[in-house]
């Protein structure tokens, strides 16, 4: 019969070149490492398999007597049908879950995980909206307490400031964050799945208010004379001259422009473009002249319309809408509404619908029917948008007649 293990025997056990174990009886052993460290281990059988589990703190923090008592507690669990290793694993998961019980903690973990696969600019954009929109409102809210009604009110508030595209992205990110949180076991709730049903009754038409052509002269004159950021005013005018989406316009990069050829080429997969389509935009003379002037201010940066606080980033998504509100057009005109205004005006003047749809970047250009030669198609749009830009100048200067060349 082996001698009973004692404290003196443990202290006298000298380290060896390789780790070794000293039995303390009933599966309890002391693992002695070459560096002199000593760890308690328990060998046991569960469901026909032999397992081993660490027991408490290392020796001498956990004495022989305490280690034996802890081993007895673990053996009782085994006798009752509980695997102590599995119990410990679940307790660790529970601690992790409790550490991420607020939306802010879940969102930060989600961002850290997802950002690894995103392009740099995408990660920067999501980070911007997290810090600006989501976290200030939802950050400290417990995940299980967040309701569909709460999120509906939250996203509607974003829409009401004239940023429907941001509200749409926020709904997508909310869905992704809650899906991630459920997968991690931090919550079982899903307040986002029914969000679309609650949001739709607000009506998509109210998302993009826009002026009639008769009201445009007032806007143009106020925009020209108003004391505001030259960069933001330029971004508003480029939207009026091109009909590109606000998110694409505000993130315009200098390397997308060829001012000598008067074209703006948006590559496939570019953030801000719906479904990532590529798009070539002809630039009217007015736009080229404006961009050459702006180049003197921002030409050394990546973005054309640089942010006020950080020139490494573009202006915010709400900059143009904020300007429109200051001009007195709250609820009457938004940056996205420029597209509706231009589409209406061009259609009323009888321009080819295909030209207008292409100018608005509706549909994948690689799949557009080959009715027109691509080069001719671009030139037709160039003439159309130059006529529109000239007409805007005339309206600003007080003209009362339409200057479009009709395309019946």
pLDDT, position 308: 87
| Residue 171 designated active-site | no
User: In Å, how far are 286, 340, 351, 389 from 344, measured between CA atoms?
Assistant: 21, 6, 11, 15
| Residue 406 designated active-site | no
Domain architecture of the chain: domains with CATH: 7-98 (3.30.160.390), 103-207 (1.10.150.130), 213-396 (1.10.443.10)
| Residue 362 designated active-site | yes
pLDDT in tens, the chain (408 residues): 455 788 888 888 888 999 998 888 888 888 889 998 889 898 988 888 888 888 878 888 888 888 888 888 888 888 888 888 888 877 766 655 554 578 998 999 999 988 888 777 778 878 888 988 899 999 999 988 999 999 999 988 887 776 677 788 888 889 999 998 888 888 888 999 888 776 644 444 445 778 888 889 999 999 999 998 999 999 999 999 999 998 899 999 999 999 999 999 988 877 666 655 778 999 999 999 999 999 999 999 999 999 988 899 999 888 999 999 999 998 889 888 899 899 888 888 888 888 888 888 876 555 544 444 454 478 999 999 999 999 999 988 886 555 555 444
| Residue 274 designated active-site | yes
pLDDT, position 231: 95
d(CA 174, CA 178): 6
Catalytic one among 330, 362, 382, 396? Answer: 362
In 3D, which of 81, 50, 58, 20 has the Cα closest to residue 70?
Answer: 58
The two structure tokens encoding residue 4: 């009973």
Catalytic one among 336, 358, 381, 391? Answer: 336
pLDDT, position 87: 80
In three-state form (DSSP H/G/I as H, E/B as E, the rest C), the secondary structure along 156-169 is: HHHHHCCCHHHHHH
Cα radius of gyration rounded to whole Å, the chain = 33
Catalytic one among 372, 382, 396, 407? Answer: 372
| Residue 381 designated active-site | no
User: In Å, how far are 35, 105, 165, 183 from 138, measured between CA atoms?
Assistant: 50, 10, 19, 20
pLDDT, position 342: 92
- DSSP H or E stretch at residue 66: helix 64-79
- DSSP H or E stretch at residue 46: strand 38-46
Catalytic one among 169, 171, 210, 245? Answer: 245
Catalytic one among 169, 210, 339, 391? Answer: 339
In 3D, which of 180, 190, 168 has the Cα closest to residue 111?
Answer: 180
Residue with tokens 């997968």: 183
Before 66, cis peptide (omega within 30)?
Answer: no
| Residue 245 designated active-site | yes
Contacts (Cβ under 8 Å, ≥6 apart) of 292: 259
């Amino acid at each position: 019969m082996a001698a009973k293990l004692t404290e003196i025997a443990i202290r006298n056990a000298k380290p060896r070149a390789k780790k070794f174990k000293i039995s303390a009886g009933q599966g309890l052993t002391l693992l002695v490492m070459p560096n002199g460290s000593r760890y308690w281990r328990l060998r046991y059988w569960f469901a026909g398999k032999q397992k081993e589990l660490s027991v408490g703190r290392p020796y001498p923090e956990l004495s022989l007597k305490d280690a034996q008592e802890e081993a007895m507690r673990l053996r009782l669990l085994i006798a009752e049908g509980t695997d102590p290793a599995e119990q410990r694993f679940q307790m660790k998961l529970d601690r992790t879950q409790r550490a991420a019980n607020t939306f802010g903690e879940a969102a930060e973990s989600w961002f850290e995980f997802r950002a690894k696969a995103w392009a740099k600019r995408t990660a920067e954009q999501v980070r911007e909206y997290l810090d600006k929109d989501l976290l200030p409102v939802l950050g400290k809210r417990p995940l299980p307490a967040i309701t569909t009604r709460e999120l509906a009110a939250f996203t509607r508030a974003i829409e009401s400031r004239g940023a429907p595209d941001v509200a749409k992205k926020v709904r997508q990110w909310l869905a992704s964050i809650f899906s991630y949180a459920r997968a991690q076991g931090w919550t079982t709730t899903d307040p986002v799945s029914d969000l679309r049903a609650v949001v739709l009754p607000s009506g998509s038409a109210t998302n993009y208010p826009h002026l009639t052509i008769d009201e445009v002269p007032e806007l143009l004159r106020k925009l020209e004379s108003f004391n505001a950021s030259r960069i933001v005013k330029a971004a508003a005018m480029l939207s009026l001259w091109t009909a590109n989406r606000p998110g694409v316009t505000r993130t315009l990069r200098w390397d997308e422009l060829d001012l000598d050829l008067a074209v703006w080429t948006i590559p496939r997969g570019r953030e801000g473009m719906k479904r990532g389509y590529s798009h070539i935009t002809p630039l009217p003379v007015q736009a080229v002249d404006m961009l050459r002037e702006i180049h003197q201010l921002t030409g050394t940066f990546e973005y054309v319309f640089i942010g006020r606080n950080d020139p490494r980033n573009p202006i915010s998504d709400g900059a143009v809408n904020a300007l429109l509100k200051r001009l007195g057009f709250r609820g009457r005109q938004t940056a996205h509404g420029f597209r509706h205004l231009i589409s209406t005006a061009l259609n009323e003047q009888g321009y080819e619908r295909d030209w207008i749809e292409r100018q608005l970047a509706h549909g994948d250009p690689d799949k557009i029917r080959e009715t027109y030669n691509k080069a001719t198609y671009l030139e037709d749009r160039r003439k159309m948008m130059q006529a529109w830009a000239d007409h805007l100048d005339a309206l600003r200067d007080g003209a009362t007649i339409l200057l479009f060349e009709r395309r019946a």
